[in-house]
A and B are shown apart, each in its own frame.
Chain A
Amino acid sequence: MKITKHDVEHVARLARLRFSEDQLDLFTDQLNTILTDFDKLQQLDTTGVEPSTHAANLSNAFRDDQIRPSLAGEEALKNAPAHERSCFKVPRIIEG
């Protein structure tokens, strides 16, 4: 076993996903199959190989410090599931 059901539960919490017991079993099984296959990468010696973040060798893309119009009026809130008084509304968060 590469990845245990416990690992899957932990990763689900990190990713803010929730699964039933059956789904957890299925995902554990499928992720294991996939990761076992992907273990072939470990055969490759990559010592000293720079990782590629991009395919292209790009650098330094900037914009000037200029104000551009923000969304007008309540446009920002138009797609919001819940909003009130120009704010996005979420369940009460207890801080601390």
Chain B
Amino acid sequence: MTKALSQMTIHELHELLKKRAVSSREITQAVYQRIDAVEPRVHAYITLTRETALKQAAAADEKTKQGTIQPLTGIPLAIKDLLCTAGIRTTCGSKILEQFIPPYNATVISRLKEQRAVLVGKTNMDEFAMGSSTETSYFGPTANPWDLERVPGGSSGGSAAAVAADECIAALGTDTGGSIRQPAACCGIVGMKPTYGRVSRFGLIAFASSLDQIGPMTKDVTDTALLMNYISGHDPRDSTAVNREVPDYTRALIPDAKGLRLGVPREYFGASGIDPEVEKAVWEALRILERQGATLTEITLPHTEYAVAAYYLIAPAEASSNLARYDGVKYGYRHPKETDLRDMYEITRAEGFGAEVKRRIMLGTYALSAGYYDAYYRKASQVRTLIRQDFEEAFKACDLIVTPTAPTPPFRQGEKLNNPLQMYLSDIFTIPANLAGLPGISIPCGLSSRGLPIGLQIIGNLFEEEKIIHGAYCLEQNSDWHLTKPSLA
């Protein structure tokens, strides 16, 4: 059975484009046909840019004819709706930015444009990336293509669902506490959060500036390596983007695992709240890697149990400040009635933000406020240091750390919406890498008895994305979970 164009990967399509066996226009049209067919059920997108996409595709085809095709030329990609796109509204999943049209591109968008990639649309997300289920979007929830009753994870749930449902070839997401990896796990795709500073944050609408990072969400590890090649690198507009050479990540696509020392952290297994099916799938994957030449070592990350608390103080504290700019003065929603200044602020913000965003603004404001700063924000920042030190220690004994991505397969819509603390625990395995700035990937490693995807997380040391890609590629080449597709007919 031949694959439909929309089902293919970047590298497969690039080969076809290069041979001129297919045009970008045809691929783009195929993607929109797929969108027309499944989007009403999945709702992966907030904004579709069909007209400009077809123009971009035509321009890409023109370049290809001229013989200047690049690896992403003509490939239809989806972009999480908190990456600014010049002239295309960028909502962050929020009412407060419903009408916001940025006059600038995020650096990653400029880089994709240089490659002449095609922008399919802006994907749905938890409002301001605050959530683990894509249910807090002002534009309504996204469904998990594997089970429409379930959440796709979050906050990059729209990007994950769009990739899984073949509504794009690949996507970009952002990850502050697991927002790429956890939805990737929920939707059975590959998602990578790079090292903090590897990819420019310029144009990424901030949730928590010291944790946010942009990364690829793809159908396989090769595509992740390819996208990493083109989104990474120094940017004079981001002080935290590291000036460090970008390797060719595709050189790390090595099918065996010889020489890789895998650390298995004892704190991530047998923990309360972890589904035994998830644990089983991860162990099976570890055995595959072991058979391919990797060695396993038990390691310890003793401060793991404090990570969620530290994260949910630091991230909301930064968010409370980052979201102060939405005040109805310069852009975005303003309460329509003439009011005094305080009413303008308070009613605008009360109406413009959803419940979870307000909850985190409150939590963060409190953590920074006079009398509580030391006990909350400062304490959490100190714990962050301890968590970083845990990893430094652990990486003395191993190259990569392997864990489940999420404690459970995707949960039902509404299941955790009214229990914030339960929702926060969905990120329990992904948060530590953000706190420590480390790169991590989630790749499919099995299906639950209900047929729901399970993800495996590989965490690497700072700027060691290549090792992660190596390990992930080896697992992918020796299993076929990435070929299993949701049955969305």
Does A41 lie within 8 Å of B309, measured CB to CB?
Answer: yes
CB-CB under 8 A from B399, the residues of chain A are none
Q: B19 interface residue, CB < 8 Å from A?
A: no
- Across the interface, do B379 and A15 meet the contact criterion of CB distance under 8 Å? no
- Judged by a CB distance under 8 angstroms, whether B254 is at the interface is no
B328 nearest CB across to chain A (Å): 6
A85 within 8 A of B: no
Report if B437 contacts A (CB, 8 A).
Answer: yes
Report yes or no: B306 in contact with A52, Cβ–Cβ below 8 A: no
Q: How far is the CA of A56 from the CA of B103 in the complex (A)?
A: 30
Residues of A with C-beta under 8 A to B330 = 79-80, 88
Which chain A residues lie closer than 8 Å to B420 at the CB level? 30, 33-34
A45 nearest CB across to chain B (Å): 10
Cβ–Cβ contact A88 & B242, under 8 A: no
Q: Is the CB of A17 within 8 A of B369?
A: no
Nearest residue, chain B, Cβ from A75: B103
- Residues of B contacting A71 with CB < 8 Å? 103
Q: Which of B197, B312, B349, B383 contacts A17 (CB 8 A)?
A: B349
Q: For chain A, residues 68 to 82, give those with C-beta under 8 angstroms from any C-beta of chain B.
A: 71, 75, 78-82
Q: Beta-carbon contacts of A27-38 to B below 8 Å, as 1s and 0s?
A: 100110111011
B47 CB → nearest A CB, Å: 16
Q: Is B442 at the interface (CB under 8 A from chain A)?
A: no
A67 at the interface (CB under 8 A from B): no
Find the A residue at minimum CB distance from B425: A37
Contact with B along A51-92 (1 / 0, CB 8 A): 111111010010100000001000100111110000010111
Contacting pair B309 A54 (CB below 8 A): no
Contact of B358 among A17, A52, A88 (CB under 8 A): A17
Known: A18-B346, A34-B312. A46 touches B332 (CB 8 A): no
* Contact status B196-A90, CB under 8 Å: no
**B462–A56 contact, CB under 8 A?**
yes
Closest chain B CB from A55 CB (angstroms): 2
Contact of B101 among A12, A30, A79 (CB under 8 A): A79
* Given known A-B contacts A41-B306, A56-B197, A34 and B421 have beta carbons under 8 A apart: yes
Q: Does residue A14 face the partner (Cβ distance < 8 Å to B)?
A: yes
Interface size on B, residues (CB 8 A): 72
Distance from B107 Cβ to chain A, minimum over Cβ atoms (Å): 14
Interface centre among A17, A37, A38, A78 (most CB of B within 10 A): A38
The answer on a CB contact under 8 Å between A88 and B329 is yes
Check B99–A42 contact: CB distance below 8 A: no
**A15 in contact with B362 given A41-B310, A55-B437 (CB within 8 Å):** yes
Q: Is the CB of B381 within 8 A of A27?
A: no
Residues in A with CB closer than 8 Å to B484 are none
Q: Is the Cβ of A91 less than 8 Å from the Cβ of B339?
A: yes
Q: Among A7, A27, A46, A75, point to the contact of B359 (Cβ < 8 A).
A: A27
Q: Bound state CA distance, A12 and B320, in angstroms?
A: 11
* Residue in B closest to A3 when the chains form the complex, CB atoms: B366
Q: Which of B193-247 contact A (CB under 8 A)?
A: 195-197, 210-211, 236, 239-240, 242
Interface string of B174-204 (1 = CB under 8 A from A): 0000000000000000000001110000000
| Residues on the A chain within 8 Å of B210, using CB | 53-55
Q: Which one of B8-16, B56-64, B112-120, B384-392 is at the interface?
A: B384-392
Contact check, A14 vs B369: say whether CB atoms are below 8 A apart.
yes
* Nearest Cβ on chain A to B98's Cβ, whole angstroms: 11
Q: Given A16-B346, A71-B103, A88-B330, answer yes or no on A51-B385 (Cβ-Cβ < 8 Å).
A: yes
Chain A residues contacting B385 (CB-CB under 8 Å) are 49-52
Best-buried of B211, B312, B327, B383 by chain A (most CB within 10 Å)? B383
The proximity string for B residues 280-315 relative to A, scoring 1 for CB distances below 8 Å and 0 otherwise, is: 000000000000000000000001011001101100
Contacting A at CB under 8 A, from B343-397, are: 343-347, 349-350, 353, 358-359, 361-363, 365-366, 369, 375-376, 378-386, 388
A-B contact pairs, 14 of them (CB 8 A): A11-B369, A18-B346, A18-B350, A34-B363, A34-B420, A34-B424, A44-B303, A44-B379, A44-B386, A46-B383, A53-B210, A56-B242, A78-B103, A80-B330
Q: Which residues of B contact A (CB under 8 A)?
A: 99-101, 103, 195-197, 210-211, 236, 239-240, 242, 303, 305-306, 309-310, 312-313, 320, 324, 327-334, 338-347, 349-350, 353, 358-359, 361-363, 365-366, 369, 375-376, 378-386, 388, 420-421, 424, 434-438, 462
The 10 closest A-B pairs by CB, nearest first: A55-B437, A51-B381, A79-B331, A61-B239, A81-B334, A46-B382, A16-B345, A18-B346, A38-B309, A52-B384
Q: Which residues does A use to contact B, with CB under 8 Å?
A: 3, 7-8, 11-12, 14-19, 27, 30-31, 33-35, 37-38, 40-42, 44, 46, 49-56, 58, 61, 63, 71, 75, 78-82, 88, 90-93
